[in-house]
Amino acid sequence: MNKEIINNAIETSDDYLDSLRNRNLNVYYFGELIDEPIDHPIIRPSINAVAKTYDLATENPEIATAISPFTNKRINRFLHIAQSPYDVVMQNKMQRRLGQLTGTCFQRCVGMDALNSLFSVTYEIDAKYSSTYHEKFKNFIAMVQNGGFVIGGAMTDVKGDRSLAPHQQDDPDLYVHITKRTEAGVFISGAKAHQTGCLNSHWMIVMPTIRLGEKDKEYAIVGAIPTDAEGITYIYGRQSCDTRSLDEGDIDVGNAKYAGQEAMVIFDNVFIPNEKIFMNGEYDFAAMLVERFTCYHRRSYVCKSGVGDVLIGAAAAAAEYNGVEKASHIKDKLTEMTHLNETIYATGIAASYQSHATASGAYICDDMLANVCKHHVTKFTYEIGRLAQDIGGGLVATLPSQKDFDHPEIGILLKKYLKGRKEIPTENRVRILRLIENMTLGRNAVGYLTESMHGAGSPQAQRIQIAREMQIDFKKALALELSGIKNTNTDKLTDDITDYFARVFSPPEV
Ligand code: SF4
Ligand code: FE
């Protein structure tokens, strides 16, 4: 990695943009090696979205910064280890605001959630095995906080045959694994799929993606790697309508400034030095890491309520430009969209308010409510998108191009025939409909819809977790008691009912 980057803290969005230059990343897009991702017109909007996380820290430090207990300095909240329920709640407020400001995925939450989950998991591995991962991890945290870096969390393996464990796969590389051990560290190979913001990060933390057994020991590896390390290849994911970012004008793209980013990351014997290894063979802690990471990350999806605010605003503006804003069905649809959007936010922020301390001292949100939040996100964004398209009308999908509007003859006709309210320029009407298209069918539908479905685990993953924690025997006992039926099955209640009571009935710490 560029030495200058290591020595100088990245504080502002300009610092951040500078830090991305002259890295030796091996990035492919459209079958071509990309020289400077920051100068690529399709990649740049995703970089702008991350840059906005630095802007918010400057403009609104209460929301987007915190004081680090490790460096005693003010740092970006994305690099902070939550010291209290307040810190966990503030993560959600920052995420909603950034969703509002960018209308897309701003990519930094994966790293924040990886740092927080690993903080407590490394502590617990050390407690069991007398290892030194936690101390090494704290040194890593202090380094990235001093540097002001963007951290990517690389969890999702490509997985091959889903019915087989990692060690049973025909090709061992279908899950990232250790290929060689030396005195100085380990080498890893494999691939991580749809990695959010990976090119826009300075460091990547590689983690296992599922519960592992004894035979999967070589897959139980957690380590931090500079994103420009030798042996890494990035293959950029296409987004629907991505080439509109190459268009001359800024109208057809819908949101010219911001977009998300996902790429496949391939590791070919990439070295991780000992001091950056935070799990090495402790397969019995893989499940704990995945569960804690997804616990944080599933309520991080309140980001979509911020993006939803933009879409609701776009639908309201479209209705106004058409002259129908007073129609009762329009008001009702906007109300429904808001209800769904706030339900996403409510469950996420409730999960954060119900945070509790882990053995390490770091706070973690409530797992049940985090899963309920993410499960809402898999559905409600689609319904909000449907209502936005309903209000926007067919033009969302049939508008002519900006070039037609700019044409000396047909442009005049288009401006005449696509006029809505007389005081609203036709261009404004087109711009707002293009934004709805962008968020529900175009580049940012990747973040608003499909990422909402599959990011942080697909819907079934949340249902499994909700089913695990739903305390059905306890609920049955409540019903039996009130209906006067003798309950002969009380032994089942002792299992994890204490945790349940602690979770639901402890007084709030915020
Ligand atoms: Fe953050 Fe949301 Fe993007 Fe995940 S999808 S990184 S939670 S903005
Ligand atoms: Fe995600």
CATH of the domain at 162: 2.40.110.10
Instruction: Using the atom order of ligand 1, give the atom closest to the CA of residue 301.
Output: 7
Q: Is residue 303 flagged as an active site residue?
A: yes
Place of tokens 């990235």: 144
Residue of minimum CA distance from atom 1 in ligand 1: 109
- Cβ atoms 178, 221 nearer than 8 A: yes
Q: Is residue 379 part of a domain?
A: yes
Give CA–CA dist 256/395, Å, rounded.
Answer: 19
* Domain shared by 318 and 284, yes or no: no
Testing ligand 1's pocket by substitution, the residue of 301, 310, 449 carrying the most ligand atoms inside 8 A of its CB is 301
Q: Is residue 6 part of a domain?
A: no
CATH number of the domain where residue 320 is located:
1.20.140.10
Q: Is residue 115 part of a domain?
A: yes
- Cβ atoms 447, 237 nearer than 8 A: no
Q: Is residue 338 part of a domain?
A: yes
Give CA–CA dist 148/16, Å, rounded.
Answer: 9
Place of tokens 């936010």: 345
Give me the chain's average pLDDT, please: 96
Nearest residue to 301 (alpha-carbon basis) of 454, 467, 149 = 454
Q: How many CA atoms lie within 13 A of 347 on its CB side?
A: 23
Q: Is residue 239 part of a domain?
A: yes
SS3 481: helix
Residue 107 Cα to ligand 1 middle (Å): 5
Q: How many CA atoms lie within 13 A of 175 on its CB side?
A: 24
Which residue stretches of the chain have pLDDT < 50?
A: 1-7
For residue 24, give the amino acid letter.
Answer: N
Residue of minimum CA distance from atom 6 in ligand 1: 107
Q: Is residue 105 flagged as an active site residue?
A: yes
Q: Is residue 128 part of a domain?
A: yes
* Domain shared by 131 and 276, yes or no: yes
Q: Is residue 301 flagged as an active site residue?
A: yes
Q: Is residue 295 flagged as an active site residue?
A: no
Element of type H or E holding 58 = helix 44-59
Give me the catalytic one of 40, 65, 104, 109. 109
End of a domain among 278, 296, 314?
296
For residue 133, give the amino acid letter.
Answer: Y
pLDDT at 203: 98
* Domain shared by 75 and 224, yes or no: yes
* Domain shared by 315 and 215, yes or no: no
- Cβ atoms 264, 235 nearer than 8 A: yes
Give CA–CA dist 485/496, Å, rounded.
Answer: 23
Give me the catalytic one of 202, 297, 375, 376. 297
pLDDT at 502: 85
Any atom of ligand 1 within 6 Å of the Cβ of 196: yes
Q: Is residue 2 part of a domain?
A: no
Instruction: Using the atom order of ligand 1, give the atom closest to the CA of residue 260.
Output: 3
Residue 237 Cα to ligand 1 middle (Å): 16
SS3 203: strand
Residues 82-95 have pLDDT tens digits of: 999 999 999 999 99
Phi/psi class of residue 241: alpha, beta or left (left: φ > 0; alpha: ψ in -120 to 50)? left
Any atom of ligand 1 within 6 Å of the Cβ of 433: no
* Domain shared by 214 and 334, yes or no: no
* Domain shared by 380 and 440, yes or no: yes
Phi/psi class of residue 103: alpha, beta or left (left: φ > 0; alpha: ψ in -120 to 50)? left
* Domain shared by 387 and 497, yes or no: no
pLDDT at 494: 66
Tokens of 68: 């680090």
Any atom of ligand 1 within 6 Å of the Cβ of 294: no
Give residue 241's Cα distance to chain centre: 21
pLDDT at 186: 98
* Domain shared by 493 and 419, yes or no: no
- Cβ atoms 456, 298 nearer than 8 A: yes
In DSSP terms, 180 is beta-bridged to: 187
* Domain shared by 323 and 356, yes or no: yes
Any atom of ligand 1 within 6 Å of the Cβ of 293: no
pLDDT at 487: 78
510 burial level (CB within 10 Å; 0-12, 13-18, 19+)? exposed
* Domain shared by 309 and 254, yes or no: no
Testing ligand 1's pocket by substitution, the residue of 53, 78, 104, 107 carrying the most ligand atoms inside 8 A of its CB is 107
* Domain shared by 165 and 28, yes or no: yes
Q: Is residue 196 flagged as an active site residue?
A: yes
Q: Which domain holds residue 500?
A: 472-504
Structural domain tally of the chain?
Answer: 3
* Domain shared by 100 and 148, yes or no: yes
For residue 209, give the amino acid letter.
Answer: T
Sheet (strand 27-29) strand order = 32-34, 27-29, 232-236, 262-273, 185-196, 177-181
Q: Is residue 5 part of a domain?
A: no
For residue 218, give the amino acid letter.
Answer: E
Q: Is residue 297 flagged as an active site residue?
A: yes
Give me the catalytic one of 122, 123, 202, 262. 262
pLDDT at 235: 98
